[in-house]
Amino acid sequence: MSADSPPTATATAPPTDEQVRQALGTVNDPEIHRPITDLGMVKNIQVRADGVVRIDVWLTVAGCPLRETITREVTEAVGRLAGVTRVSVELDVMSDEQRRELQGRLRGGQAEREIPFAKPGSLTKVYAIASGKGGVGKSSVTVNLAAALAQLGQKVGLLDADIYGHSVPRMLGVTDRPTQVEQMIMPPSAHGVRAISSGMLKKGNEPLPLRGPILHRLLQQFLADVFWGDLDVLLMDLPPGTGDVAISAAHLVPGSELVVVTTPQSASAEVAERAGSLASQLHQRVVGVIENMSYLPCPHCGERVEVFGYGGGQAVADTLTRLTGARVPLLGEIPIDPRLREAGDAGVPLVLSDPETPAAQRLRKIAEELSGRSRSLAGRQLGLSPV
């Protein structure tokens, strides 16, 4: 299988092998996000006197869904070199031994099933986005925060831990399935966000009949076996309530911090308080509260229409401040906007599709606040010893 660029006339001497290799160093594997030269994916380089360059590339797996992307980017990178008249890209597939070597290289020699975000030296900020009940727009908020953080230049991962009610793939516009290299899972990306979800592991809209222990192992697999790379921020979209997944997430990533999403009405606020107070029992820090569906701007006069009441978010923040003994702020009030739902259905988060809308601006402001925070020391081993 090959892809050729059209020949062009040139009187310039052809590039050297080293120049070609340097050009290939600018090409990242679309799933691993590292240069293909560092990953051992360049099988062979051949430069002819007439300027025709042939590049043989190892694919990690047969039927790689991004083979065309790799071919195009290799062709473009080498084709920009002076003296190149044509680029021919030949694709091959790694052997089992090569994939094991790649896995070891990516893991840095560490043991399998080690969760990088749980290590004391991890610099990744992990935010678990929680709610007391469903229907408050938690996943919409999470997806938009992830896209806004990526737009701010952060390296962002999004783990859809809502195993039964997963909606992240559709809202983020992820259509590719994860690729497995030995025991490692390469997460697909969209809008600069690397994401994994149970919805990517099944066919169509079939249910996942999983019970507690299996849920724990699946979450552990998402955290340990997915190759996330060097993330600045990992968002975990938790299922509503205080069940198995919320407890497992806190145990698996002790340094994770909680962001509670609620709506203004008292019923939603009461159950959100229960979800937030669980953080005290699990020794998690609550970063703050987001009040979604806060109000509806009147399309005629612009006044706030309190569709679901008023003050629920601040009430949750005040209660959690009292329960945890640490200040829990109200991070923002997100107004009701039909475009937020439409953007989720289209797979393009509102912060990207309509960034000037009030809802998008509030979400971006919250993302800016989260990106500026330092990683919590809660739950971390500091390595101190008595003198």
Which of the residue ranges 26-35, 110-119, 250-259, 304-313 would you say has the lowest mean pLDDT? 110-119
Which of the residue ranges 159-163, 172-176, 270-274, 354-358 would you say has the lowest mean pLDDT? 270-274
Please give the average per-residue pLDDT across 163-180, as a whole number. 82
Q: Are residues 157 and 73 in the same domain?
A: no
Q: Kindly list the distances between the CA atom of residue 101 and the CA atoms of 67, 96, 281, in Å, as whole numbers in the listed order.
A: 21, 9, 42
Residue pair 264/294 in contact (Cβ under 8 Å)? The answer is yes
Where helices occur in the chain by DSSP H, the ranges are: 17-24, 67-79, 96-107, 138-151, 168-172, 212-224, 244-252, 266-281, 312-324, 338-346, 350-353, 358-371
Q: Are residues 79 and 125 in the same domain?
A: no
Which pLDDT tens digit goes with each residue over 278-299?
A: 777 777 889 999 999 998 887 7
Residue 6, domain CATH: 3.30.300.130
Structural domain including 31 reads 2-94
In a domain, 336, yes or no: yes
DSSP string over 5-58: PPP----SPPPPHHHHHHHHTTPBPTTT-SBTTTTT-EEEEEE-TTSEEEEEEE
Q: Are residues 173 and 139 in the same domain?
A: yes
Q: Tell me what percent of the residues of the chain surpass a pLDDT of 70.
A: 85
Tokens found for residue 41: 């994916």
Q: Are residues 194 and 307 in the same domain?
A: yes
Q: Are residues 130 and 78 in the same domain?
A: no
Which of the residue ranges 67-81, 159-173, 347-361 would you say has the lowest mean pLDDT? 159-173
In a domain, 101, yes or no: no
In a domain, 269, yes or no: yes
Q: Are residues 53 and 148 in the same domain?
A: no
Distance of alpha carbon 53 from alpha carbon 142, whole angstroms: 45
Length of the chain (residues): 387
Q: Are residues 193 and 229 in the same domain?
A: yes
Please give the average per-residue pLDDT across 30-47, as a whole number. 87
Q: Are residues 168 and 64 in the same domain?
A: no
Tokens found for residue 286: 């609550």
Q: Are residues 124 and 86 in the same domain?
A: no
Q: Are residues 152 and 45 in the same domain?
A: no
- Asked if the model's pLDDT at residue 129 lies above 90, the reply is yes
Which pLDDT tens digit goes with each residue over 62-95?
A: 666 678 889 999 999 999 999 999 999 998 888 8
Q: Are residues 124 and 266 in the same domain?
A: yes
Residue 302, domain CATH: 3.40.50.300
Query: Residue 387's pLDDT is what?
Result: 41
In a domain, 387, yes or no: no
Eight-class DSSP state of 232:
S
In a domain, 165, yes or no: yes
In a domain, 384, yes or no: no
Q: Structural domain tally of the chain?
A: 2
In a domain, 193, yes or no: yes
Q: Whole-number mean pLDDT of the chain?
A: 83
Q: Strand 2-4 to strand 86-93: parallel, antiparallel, or no bridges (unpaired)?
A: antiparallel
The better pLDDT of the pair 162, 170 is held by: 170
Q: Are residues 141 and 38 in the same domain?
A: no
pLDDT band, residue 369 (cuts 50/70/90)? very high
> Please, which residues bridge with residue 196 across strands?
159
